[in-house]
Structure 1
Amino acid sequence: MSIVRSASKAVCYTQSAVQLADLRHRIEDRTALTRALQEVLGSDRVFTHPADLIAYEYDGAQVLNAIPDLVVLPGSTEEVVGVVNAARRHRVPLIPRGAGTGLSGGAITPIGGILVSLARMKRILHVDLDNRYAVVQPGVINLDVTKAVEGSGYFYAPDPSSQSACSIGGNVANNSGGVHTLAFGVTTNHVLGLTLVLPDGSVERLGGRGADDPGLDLTGLVVGSEGTLGIVTEVTVRLMRRREGVRTMLGIFGTIAEASQAVADIIASGIAPTALEMIDQLTVEAVEPVVHA
């Protein structure tokens, strides 16, 4: 383990992360690569200027930073295929990025290369309430799926704390959950199918629109793979019926041990609450000034 210190903060890296930083990829012909990407996307969706690139050097943690060599913003599966093929011809690494709210460094480019922002791919393509599913692009904001169907009594269950800002593609990459994980599970429990662009530029459609699609669960393999297997360009998600009534209860405990025991007792009793969340005093004191509680 290595510690890298600056005047303002100390950041802890694994040895492999330090080595990756030392092995930053060198693009042999940046001009030719830029031209190839512009042929696919147009010049307005290929960023090369440092002032544009710096906006993509962090994720939500803002601890590690790495400026990409180029940023591209495709708007369809076909355009993602074009980007992948251009990168492959020029032997340049790709990093897909959702909304950039993650905390694990998955949306930054530690060895440089092309950052593929999926923020433009934000359409809800199809909603089928009879069969309880929706087909969305990866840039769709998590909460927007629920907003699109809540008037009909449905919702999308996985709800990370950043659900008003995080994207479905990022949720798929990280297999995200939220406070309702206890009752409804995490992202992998609500993804029925995917469209995936592989590193060779081919397109695979995995899973289907039913919960028990035949064959190996390749969809489940992709969920949580953090973009290492390909770039997800469409997601078929499960929709759930809203419960008729919701009641919220607040319990105050003297110690974390007492609160933890209460959680264990609730689960052991056979009661299945929709959500359980524990907040300690330090967290309350940190949050109150921000939300003006």
Structure 2
Amino acid sequence: MSIMMPAADQAVLARRAEIAAALRAIVPGEGVIDSAAEMLAYESDGLTAYRQPPMVVVLPDTTEQVSKVLKYCQGQGIKVVPRGSGTSLSGGALPLADGVLLLGLGKFKRIREIDFDNRVVVTEPGVTNLAISQAVAHAGFYYAPDPSSQIACSIGGNVAENSGGVHCLKYGMTTNNVLGCEIVLMSGEILRIGGKSAENAGYDLMGIITGSEGLLGVITEITVRILQKPETARALMVGFAEVEAAGECVARIIGAGIIPGGMEMMDKPAIHAAEAFVHAGYPLDVEALLIIELDGPQVEVDELIKRVEAIAQGCGSTSCQISTSEAERNLFWAGRKAAFPAVGRISPDYLCMDGTIPRGALPKALARIRDLSEKYGLGVANVFHAGDGNLHPLILYDANKPGEIEKAEAFGADILRCCVELGGVLTGEHGVGIEKRDLMPDMFTEIDLNQQQRLKCAFDAEGLLNPGKVFPTLHRCAELGRVHVHAGKLAFPDIPRF
């Protein structure tokens, strides 16, 4: 006895087969996945609370293939979700129900050029963040932005989200370390923007593309700046009896004109979780821990250590340990960089938030997070880039308990609203994605959002790239006034007047 499939399901399968066949003509071999079982690996990114399988997955490995795939999709009106390593924590790489094609860039994993004379690396987007530093380490160089997930996250994803890391305080975010890129528009047009030079004429299109979350085009090549390793780098591990005292210490260090290579803070739940996981030697009798790295010429580092230690004592520090070897310095950082997986051992689930506040507002933000934790009845572990005010509260919950995920999301939304109220922003490095999409009006006016969408229209007039992300309501380009990018330039006569 045969079971008749509903006509709607038959239509979906027929459409999938049609798309897959067309894509296989562009990306032969195993580059197209249309089996429901095999596509399960792509149904979510690091924001695992949400899942949506794509209709088809395509895995090109050349820029030309990406161009042909996008051109085909534009002609067919097919929406496309670009994806790197899938470590996004805001749902940025989540396939949506009306985004039928997931375009994975995992095969773009070659470093194309290492140019020590110009201190740059030209890389494909699927290369991991850490692999760039490893490729140039033999010559005493490294790539500065270092997200905690650097062993897995791709450089293309870093550009899409403008990622930071523990050393972004002194050396900048991704946007400060990317000089150029090759980007494919939805039309299939291939643009080269920027290059090896630190300065380029015309509009700052690199500044627009970095942090654009896959809404403007698909990046297929990136030119990044590499730095020479400092002569000396040492870290201090400073404990405090109160979180507010640690926050005051951060403000005083920056106020004294000292810019550490990195300055991170963890509260007691995060400290205990990280120490049990890594055994980094963290003090367990403190409420807050600062890890402060100072780098440069040895004589300068020695002097700065004395000054920072004195500032910490003035803020009431209860302990201070200074690294005496490279291995010990790396161990201090190992616990911090493993904090996210470490917290996963103390809670069945957690929601990692990402917001930024002015440094001076840190005590108020932490007090508000404590109050919200009591309000929602959910624990929280705080891990954050203290130097630049980028908070990463980890909200602890159990998805198997009815209503807890909803409480965690409401808790997280209130934290982000608090960040905006204190003069900060909704995201520091994880992006907006779907997680913060509906909070955008809390930060931007309707005029602001419409202006941002005009920029989206300039690159992707049909709104086919990464649908459902960033904007709570996406207007048609015709409603906003269309601008079009061609050959890397705005068609000046078409720019609407406001």
- How high is the TM-score relative to the length of structure 1? 0.89
User: Where does structure 1 lack aligned partners over 5 or more consecutive residues?
Assistant: 1-25
Q: CA deviation at 1:28?
A: 7.2
Which stretch of the first structure deviates more once superposed, 37-46 or 140-149?
A: 37-46
2:251 is aligned, of 256, 264, 277, to 264
Matches within 5 A, 1:224-239: 224-239=211-226
In 1, Cα distance between equivalents of 2:279 and 2:55: 40
What is the identity, as a one-letter code, of the residue corresponding to 1:285?
Answer: H
Aligned residue for 1:50?
Answer: 36
Q: CA deviation at 1:31?
A: 2.1
In 1, Cα distance between equivalents of 2:34 and 2:152: 25
Matches within 5 A, 1:80-95: 80-95=66-81
Are 2:236 and 1:254 equivalent residues in the alignment? no
In 1, Cα distance between equivalents of 2:73 and 2:14: 12
Which stretch of the first structure deviates more once superposed, 89-98 or 191-200?
A: 89-98
Q: Residue 149 of structure 1 aligns to a residue in which SS?
A: helix
Q: CA deviation at 1:50?
A: 1.1
Q: Deviations over 1:209-253 (max 9, x none)?
A: 111111111011000000000000000001111101011111000
Matches within 5 A, 1:156-195: 156-195=143-182
Q: CA deviation at 1:87?
A: 1.4
Which stretch of the first structure deviates more once superposed, 78-87 or 177-186?
A: 78-87
Q: Deviations over 1:171-204 (max 9, x none)?
A: 0000000111110110000110010000111011
1:282 is aligned, of 251, 261, 269, to 269
More helix by share: 2
2:191 is aligned, of 204, 209, 212, to 204
Distance 1:251 1:113, change over 3 A: same
Aligned residue for 2:55?
Answer: 69
8 Å Cα contact 2:16/2:34 also seen in 1 = no
In 2, Cα distance between equivalents of 1:176 and 1:72: 25
RMSD of aligned alpha carbons: 1.3
Distance 1:172 1:72, change over 3 A: same
Are 2:106 and 1:119 equivalent residues in the alignment? yes
8 Å Cα contact 1:138/1:169 also seen in 2 = yes
Q: CA deviation at 1:138?
A: 0.3
Q: Residue 246 of structure 1 aligns to a residue in which SS?
A: strand
Aligned residue for 1:106?
Answer: 92
Q: Deviations over 1:1-39 (max 9, x none)?
A: xxxxxxxxxxxxxxxxxxxxxxxxx68732221111000
Aligned residue for 1:39?
Answer: 25
What is the identity, as a one-letter code, of the residue corresponding to 2:221?
Answer: E
Aligned residue for 2:337?
Answer: none
What is the identity, as a one-letter code, of the residue corresponding to 2:233?
Answer: V
Which stretch of the first structure deviates more once superposed, 130-139 or 78-87?
A: 78-87
In 2, Cα distance between equivalents of 1:66 and 1:77: 27
Distance 1:230 1:28, change over 3 A: farther
8 Å Cα contact 2:16/2:56 also seen in 1 = no
1:215 is aligned, of 155, 180, 202, to 202
User: Where does structure 2 lack aligned partners over 5 or more consecutive residues?
Assistant: 1-11, 281-498
In 1, Cα distance between equivalents of 2:37 and 2:242: 49
Q: CA deviation at 1:288?
A: 3.2
Matches within 5 A, 1:130-169: 130-169=117-156
Distance 1:160 1:252, change over 3 A: same
Q: CA deviation at 1:292?
A: 5.1
Q: CA deviation at 1:86?
A: 2.1
In 2, Cα distance between equivalents of 1:288 and 1:66: 36
8 Å Cα contact 2:44/2:95 also seen in 1 = no
Q: Residue 248 of structure 1 aligns to a residue in which SS?
A: strand
1:59 is aligned, of 45, 51, 61, to 45
In 2, Cα distance between equivalents of 1:92 and 1:27: 15
Which stretch of the first structure deviates more once superposed, 278-287 or 267-276?
A: 278-287
8 Å Cα contact 1:33/1:86 also seen in 2 = no
- How high is the TM-score relative to the length of structure 2? 0.53
Distance 1:27 1:222, change over 3 A: farther
8 Å Cα contact 1:138/1:233 also seen in 2 = yes
Q: CA deviation at 1:285?
A: 2.3
8 Å Cα contact 1:207/1:219 also seen in 2 = yes
Q: CA deviation at 1:284?
A: 1.6
Q: Residue 130 of structure 1 aligns to a residue in which SS?
A: coil
What is the identity, as a one-letter code, of the residue corresponding to 2:193?
Answer: L
Q: Residue 145 of structure 1 aligns to a residue in which SS?
A: helix
Taking only the aligned residue pairs, the percentage that are identical comes to: 45
Aligned length: 268
What is the identity, as a one-letter code, of the residue corresponding to 1:96?
Answer: P
Q: Deviations over 1:260-289 (max 9, x none)?
A: 000111111111110000011011223334
